[in-house]
Amino acid sequence: MPSAAAIDPARLHAALRDVFGFDTFRPYQREIVEALLARRDAFVVMPTGGGKSLCYQLPARLMDGVCIVVSPLISLMKDQVDAARSNGLRAAFLNSSLDLEGRRDTVGALRRGDLELLYVSPERFAMEDFGTLLRACRLSLIAIDEAHCISEWGHDFRPDYLALGALTDTFPEVPVAAFTATATLKVQDDIVRRLRLRDPLKVRASFNRPNLYYAVTPKTDAQRQILRFVLERPREAGIVYRTTRRSVDETADYLCARGIRALPYHAGLDDETRARNQEAFNRDEAQVVVATIAFGMGIDKSNVRFVLHADLPKNIEGYYQETGRAGRDGDPAHCLLLFGYGDIPKIRHFFDDIADPDEKRRAERCLQDVITYATTHACRRRRLLGYFGEPFAQEHCGACDVCTGRVARVDATRDAQIALSAIARTGQRFGAGYLVDVITGADTERIRALGHDAIKTYGVGADRDKRHWRRVIDTLLAQELAVQSEGEYPTIALTDRARPVLRGEKPFYMTEQVVEPRAKRRKAVASADVFAPEDGLFERLRALRAEIAAELGVPAYVVFTDRTLHELAAQRPTREDQLIGIHGIGEKKRAQFGARFVQAIRTFGAAG
Ligand code: ADP
Ligand code: ZN
């Protein structure tokens, strides 16, 4: 039974401040911590960046015994342990990467009761001597990270996780907490059942990530668009997702050739290269990782400032998970999707391999959700949350391209009629490129040979550029007023939905990027706070952080997060005691890094 002192709110709050340097709990953290302190099981769905680790680390500090943390990725464990240790928690890990000596040290510390947190991989539980070891220890609680790995319904089933179902039997006195960022209710029930959680506190945190800005831009020339986007953010780290290994390599090369520190990441690279590239990114040595979705769970970096999808994702769930890797530190971050209709047939091509017709229909529906997300003129955040069954009360979120007025809905009925009649008058036998040529009145041999320079629509769209007409056609396809055939030379035909628009009985709307005049844009950016303005001191502190991270051999965010650096740069504390209350600085970090940062601020002040 918990002692009254264990759940005293003042004590909780003091621990939050002294260990983690935080003033307040994030949503649900307090409830979860309190449940665990009261030795109740918990089941927690929280989006990436929601702050799951604190939910078990704080009880681990306040309870007797050691908290066992089950984590699926060996490659991640060392960073997790480093991060916990940097807050002064007595943490260690046991996995196959340890040499004999490291293993002996950890087991010794465990036996002596010196550890608060022990990170282990699930396969440990299959080892007899590990069970014996644990039974000889006093356990405070068992935390299971990425708990969806136990469910075959989830997207990341790992058979090793099944062994965890026996934990509540083996350790009936020890509370078990399961954590996941996977949203569906089906997976949720499966996890609770398989782990045999006993009347757990169930928490489904909001999936809303207020600090993420969502935007969709028509894809014109992906590489150049990526380049421009990255150049606009010279000091911000980010991930560029691409679909194929080849496009990953090409984009990484393209960016590197233009002076950007970009590294590729995909399943075709050997383990060592992958680990090295990931580590360089974690340590702020590379600005950009260009990756396939193979780059996922291993990213624990909290200061990812943007996630750019250069190709269309297959479903919203995956898209949301990937964008969720941005802004875990709570600072503003930018999620951009480049949407080109040309990506859709490529994805449908994958569906051809799906044998089960139900499965195929489901995949098609998922894709349609993505297309709707990308093409309709409604708050992006509302759409995303709606997809997870979460209502969003406000009409406008204020942090997406639609709500900030960067995307306008325009009546494009006339343009749609022009494009549709071009399709009809050329016999529904041509592709988008040819149709655009006809509409804009291009003087080509092929058009003359086919006599299409004589049809009524020839050249009527010459007042707009080809890109515009391409977008009109893309939108007709996305809204299913037209369909495109499969194959190497796809042709476009009309659907039933085209008729009312052609007859003028129904309007046709398109979304359009609002291009702001340059001067105005710069001002808007500075005040939007989405892109932090350059600050000399911030850069100095960042360099110091990188230096310390390199000395310690840990990722930069383990030293301080971006948010901590921003607060330091804004408040400019010149004495160590002024560091109390700065976000992310608890007692351990103040003692360990305080003097050097304060010194850097003093030096900067004296120079400036
Ligand atoms: P998750 O495991 O849910 O993806 P983490 O536990 O890694 O998330 O936490 C994400 C980020 O949020 C970390 O940078 C962490 O320091 C920060 N964080 C967690 N809890 C709080 C809090 N109560 N106040 C401020 N920041 C927090
Ligand atoms: Zn919005």
**374-427 pLDDT tens trace:** 987 889 999 898 887 788 888 889 999 999 988 888 899 999 999 999 999 999
Give 313's Cβ-side CA count (13 Å radius).
25
Residue 432 shares a structural domain with residue 553? no
- Please list the alpha-helical segments (H only) found in 428-573: 432-440, 445-450, 466-478, 498-502, 518-528, 536-552, 556-559, 562-571
Q: Does 2 reside within a domain?
A: no
pLDDT digit string (tens) for 273-318? 998 999 899 888 899 999 998 887 667 788 999 999 999 999 888 8
Alpha-carbon torsion angle 318, 322, 324, 326, nearest 10: -170
Residues with CB under 6 A from ligand 1: 22, 25-26, 29, 46, 48-54, 302, 328-330, 561
Atom 16 of ligand 1, residue of closest alpha carbon: 329
Q: Does the structure show a pLDDT above 50 at 362?
A: yes
For the cut 90, the answer to whether the pLDDT of residue 539 exceeds it is no
| Beta-carbon-side half-sphere exposure of residue 520 (alpha carbons within 13 Å) | 5
Letter for the amino acid at 570?
Answer: A
Per-residue pLDDT band for 530 (boundaries 50, 70, 90) equals very low
Residues 249 and 395 in one domain: yes
Distance CA(545)–CA(548), nearest Å, equals 5
Mean pLDDT, residues 507-532? 54
Residue 422 lies inside a defined structural domain of this protein: yes
Give distance in angstroms: CA of 215 to centre of ligand 2.
Answer: 9
For residue 478, what pLDDT band results from cuts at 50, 70 and 90? confident
Residue nearest atom 9 of ligand 1, based on CA coordinates: 51
Query: Do residues 161 and 68 share a domain?
Result: yes
Q: Work out which ligand 1 atom sits closest to the CA atom of 181.
A: 3
CATH number of the domain at 449, please: 1.10.10.10
The last residue of one of the domains, among 349, 370, 401, is: 401
- The percentage of residues in the chain with a pLDDT greater than 70, rounded to a whole number, is 94
What pLDDT does 328 receive?
87
Substitution site in 12, 32, 46, 54 for ligand 1 pocket (most atoms within 8 Å of beta carbon)? 54
244-284 pLDDT, tens digit each: 999 999 999 999 999 999 999 999 999 999 989 998 998 88
Question: What is the per-residue pLDDT for 284?
Answer: 85
Rounded CA-CA distance 135/64 in Å is 15
Does the pLDDT value for residue 528 go beyond 70? no
Across 217-242, average pLDDT: 94
Residues 360 and 459 in one domain: no
Whether residue 157 lies inside any domain: the answer is: yes
Q: Does 1 fall in a domain?
A: no
Same domain as 329, residue 240? yes
Give the residue numbers spanning the domain of 221.
Answer: 212-401
Instruction: Report strand pairing: 288-291 vs 262-265.
Output: parallel
- Same domain for 84 and 200, yes or no, is yes
Examine the domain organization and report whether 117 and 184 are in the same domain.
yes
Whether 325 and 238 share a structural domain? yes
* Residues 191, 239 within the same domain: no
pLDDT tops 70 at residue 526 = no
Q: Are residues 56 and 144 in the same domain?
A: yes
pLDDT, mean over the chain: 89
Residue nearest to atom 19 of ligand 1 (CA): 51
CATH of the domain at 570: 1.10.150.80
In a domain? residue 3: no
Residue 518 in any domain: the answer is no
Average pLDDT over residues 49-56: 92
Does residue 21 sit in the same domain as residue 52?
Answer: yes
**Residue 341 belongs to a domain:** yes
The b/e string for 458-472 (b: 16+ C-beta within 10 A; e otherwise) is bebbeeeeeebbbbb
Q: Which of 82, 88, 19, 46 is nearest to 282 (CA)?
A: 82
On whether residue 93 sits in a domain, the answer given is: yes
Instruction: Report the CATH number that the domain containing residue 269 is assigned in CATH.
Output: 3.40.50.300
Tell the burial category of 68 from Cβ atoms under 10 Å away from its Cβ (0-12, 13-18, 19+): buried
From 178, 204, 230, the end of a domain falls on: 204
Domain count, the chain: 4
Residues 44 and 179 occupy one common structural domain: yes
Of 401, 427, 451, the domain-final residue? 401
User: Among the atoms of ligand 1, which is closest to the Cα of residue 29?
Assistant: 23
